[in-house]
Structure 1
Amino acid sequence: MNSAPGNHIKSIKKSTSTRLIYIVFFLLVSVIAYVFSYWSFSWVDSLDFLKVCSKEDNACVGALLVYRLTFGLALYHLLLAVVMIGVKSGGEGRAKFQDGYWPVKVLMLAGLITVSFFIPNKFFVVYGWAAIFCAAIFILIQLVLLVEFAYSLNESCVRKIENEGESGKKWYVLLFVLSFGCIIAAITGTVLMLVFLGKSCSINQFFIVFNIGISLIVGVLSISEKVREFRPSSGLFQSGIVMLYTTYLIYSAIMSEPASKCSTIANDHPKQSTIIIGALFTIISVCYSAFRASDSNELLGQHQHYESIPNDPDTETTGIADDECECTAYNYSFFHITFAFGAMYICELLTNWATLSNVTSTALSASVDTGMVSVWVKVVSSWVVVLLYLWTLVGPLLLRDRTWD
């Protein structure tokens, strides 16, 4: 007897497909917020049925429109996080709501966003400060994920080298190329920044030199005998990834500087297409970070879950394998909390980390990721990720009685 056609198709896990749908919601609202932040002044003012959004107070244009859209998205995920508290099994009724009832949840999201347009402006003055705090937490989650990713990828390559014997040499070559490739790219980027972005600007020179200095110090420390005695998995690969990422953060910080003698290249009236590509890249990276956070062993602790039965008829017809028959594959509440924080992070990126003490035309003008607050957020983030990585190196040395993964 021939095998069923569905058996030849690699099925997607139900837990993955569910999170991908939530990512589509998140991506859609974020893109709308970005688009309307620029063109809302002419579009929204014509909507007379939104009486609270009058031309006089500019309550629904520019940055305030971004605040309202992202608040509706954040509230949506926070409510789902509360509903999903304590869900452990895919068979529970609340778990079915997590994985299904999509028309209801679409209407729920649309309703919350609509309601946000009728909230007075004063509320968003307070919300702005809460968004800054939650966005900072989301940045920390991103940085932890970066360090975890570096260690996981290194350990995966090392495992393949050990298990495959002679044929595993290709993984050794890959690890070698990636390690030194990241380091060389970071050093090259540093030199180029000093030449083109550090001239006659002492603060930029400090950012660039300090970053490469501490990155090299931590890199040397990662291969020292004392550190490797207690952290055998440390090495140049993780150091290279951290060095390259912090170099990118410093570059991005300099490019976010407002027009001045320190940013003659960074603020030379970038084309609209470049801004759009940058905004989309940022939004997609936030989606990826939120998805990875929900599936991170380091942040959550792994839930045991079971693969679907290979000949499950539902899997063969839908192409979706139920990997949560007994236990959930990820923490539902934490997943939604992470996306809520991600929505607030998008809010801050699209409004230059501004807080609204009052509603003025300048406060309402939203431009993506520029201003000194954005600069310092990125610079401090580069320092924090180095400190996080440094702690993974010296932590096992200082706290020897603790078990370190």
Structure 2
Amino acid sequence: MGRNNQRNCCTSQVACCCGNASCSSPCLPPIKESTSTRLMYILYYLLGAILSAVMVTETIRESLHRAPWLVDFCENVGAGTNCSSLMGYVAVYRINYALAAFFLVMAVLTICVGSSNSIRGQIHNGFWFFKLLFLILLWVGAFFIPTPSQAVTAGLVVGFTGACLFILMQLWLLIDFASSWNHSWSRKYDGGSKCWYIGLIFFILIFYAISILITVFTIELYGKPFFACLRNTLYVCFSATACAILSVLTILPCISRNHPRASLLQASIVSAYVMYLTFSAIVIEPPMETLTEVGYNETTKTRIYNTTLVLCAPTSITSAILVDSSYGELLSAAVATILLLGMVLYACIRSTTTTFVPDEEGTANKNFWCCCHKDTNGDEVDGPHRSWGAIENEAEGTVYSYSFFHFTFLLASLYTMMTFTNWYSPENATLENLHRTWPPFWVRLVSAWVCALLYALKVIVIMCRSDPDPDEEPNRRSRRRRARHRSTPL
């Protein structure tokens, strides 16, 4: 029996690569088909992101100079001296546009797919080897496409547009996450548990403390000298004022009447993220030019000015090591990358928990035989299977929109491309040295204000809604009964 199970496991893995079966880890409990499919596409996206990082790594480029055999190979295949055409920002454009083209093809192919049993659904959930081969062919073919300056400029504009759309999607996901968190904990508090109420208060204070700390920290380190760096102080104050307005809007009586579960948790999370985006923008702000009058030209009747570059950055050695120069920029880039991947993973996990019939409790631990050679019958797992260990949970209907899922990764690919190529200054883009340029500065700063605007619009919609949320009415009556019970004299 054990040998048969092991043979079935190997057969299922081959079917996952070359057939319409879904993938599952041989050493882990069975997972749903919808989850395993999205994890595989996340791996494809991460593969493209890693290749992009390698292409703009100066260390890799320098190592090519020390490998004579590789230099000869590059010249023989027509890749230029030291494989120059395979490195740099143009190579990042090629990789990410090929990755975006892959997700575009998948998005068009999976429009209005209603079941995983359909042909297009099977292509989406299986044939992973052929899809990887198709992606590799796109990457290889992209390097044979000529790239005149007009094509690079057009690619930059298209990439910038797609990256901005992904930023808007990322901001809305953050607001949705804050709303879901608040709704979940408020509902548990309505059930009578005070621990959840204490938890709400705790995290509200934590997020507001983070917002205040970032505000003071940014003004103290990047607002001096005062008059030369007054613009930075105004940016921070504007963002902080917007956060304060959002907090006031959240606790207005009309909001509580139409949305009883509204609390400051949502506003505190949005405020912390807005202040973080403001800080990350100011960290990479280029030096400011100031003009100082030094004389007067009698011949041309014009004033003579001396241009001085003022860098608003920490002055102390300790602060400079922590937040200035490449340290602060690399820290900001690392946090931004983590947030990017976190938002993508959150979108995947959130859509996974929408609907489906789960298997019975305890069956997930019965199929470790594929790794540990445990003598267990695979049919013991309840629910239909497309492959050994993968639970087919989309036969009657899809859990998420296949087409929109691929469209999200299309935009994420363009966002990755613009991030690694320094947005509108790709010529100087390297992974080791993140240059101070205006395009990333304004993208991050405007993103902070757009995030505040999106949340404000959401609050205003609640204010303008005349009828209360019907889902909140039972909880409202329950709270009233508890209040009357506490006020009834003995």
What TM-score, normalized to structure 2?
A: 0.71
> Does the alignment pair 1:334 with 2:353?
no
State the AA in 1 paired with 2:449: W
Match of 1:118 in 2: 144
Distance change (3 Å), C-alpha of 1:117 and 1:134 = same
Kept after mapping to 2: 8 A contact 1:193/1:251? yes
Match of 2:375 in 1: none
- The alpha carbon displacement at 1:227 in A equals 2.3
Aligned pairs for 1:5-24 (under 5 A) are 11-24=30-43
Among candidates 24, 30, 36, match of residue 49 of structure 2: 30
What are the Cα deviations for residues 119-167 of structure 1, in whole angstroms up to 9, with x where unaligned?
112233211110100100000000110111111000100111223x2xx
Q: Percent identity?
A: 30
- The alpha carbon displacement at 1:105 in A equals 1.2
Match of 1:149 in 2: 177
Aligned pairs for 1:6-405 (under 5 A) are 11-39=30-58, 41-42=61-62, 43=64, 46=71, 47-51=74-78, 53-55=79-81, 59-122=85-148, 123-163=151-191, 165=192, 168-200=193-225, 201-259=229-287, 260-264=310-314, 265=320, 268-270=324-326, 275=330, 279=333, 281-293=335-347, 305-307=356-358, 313=379, 315=381, 318-354=388-424, 362=427, 367-368=433-434, 370-400=436-466
CA–CA distance in structure 2, aligned partners of residues 73 and 104 of structure 1: 15
State the AA in 2 paired with 1:182: F
Moved more, 377-386 or 31-40: 31-40
Q: In structure 1, the residue corresponding to 2:122 is in which secondary structure?
A: helix
Q: In structure 1, the residue corresponding to 2:80 is in which secondary structure?
A: coil
Moved more, 197-206 or 302-311: 302-311
Kept after mapping to 2: 8 A contact 1:179/1:240? yes
Q: How many residue pairs are counted as aligned between the two chains?
A: 383
Kept after mapping to 1: 8 A contact 2:172/2:454? yes
CA–CA distance in structure 2, aligned partners of residues 392 and 404 of structure 1: 18
- The alpha carbon displacement at 1:355 in A equals 6.5
Q: In structure 2, the residue corresponding to 1:48 is in which secondary structure?
A: helix
Kept after mapping to 2: 8 A contact 1:186/1:244? yes
Distance change (3 Å), C-alpha of 1:391 and 1:399 = same
CA–CA distance in structure 2, aligned partners of residues 19 and 105 of structure 1: 14
State the AA in 2 paired with 1:152: S
Match of 1:359 in 2: none
Higher strand residue share: 2
What TM-score, normalized to structure 1?
A: 0.84
Which structure has the larger Rg?
A: 2
Across the aligned residues of Structure 1 and Structure 2, the Cα RMSD in angstroms comes to 3.1
Q: In structure 1, the residue corresponding to 2:398 is in which secondary structure?
A: coil
- The alpha carbon displacement at 1:50 in A equals 4.4
Gaps of 5+ in 2: 1-27, 288-309, 315-319, 364-377, 472-490
- The alpha carbon displacement at 1:401 in A equals 7.0
State the AA in 1 paired with 2:108: V
